[in-house]
Amino acid sequence: MRNARRFKHKDKRSACQAHAQRRARQRFGVTVGYAELDDIVFQIQRGKAEHIRAQSNRVSVWRVALREEKVLVVYDRSRKVIVTILPKEAT
Per-residue three-class SS string for 66-82? ECCEEEEEEEECCCCEE
- The type of residue at 17 is Q
CB neighbour list of residue 67: distance below 8 Å, 6 or more residues apart: 30
Phi-psi region of 47 (alpha: psi -120 to 50; beta: other; left: phi over 0): left
pLDDT in tens, 31-82: 999 999 999 999 999 999 999 999 999 999 999 999 989 999 999 999 999 9
pTM recorded for the entire structure:
0.86
Q: Which residue from 40, 47, 25 is spatially nearest to 74, judged by alpha carbons?
A: 40
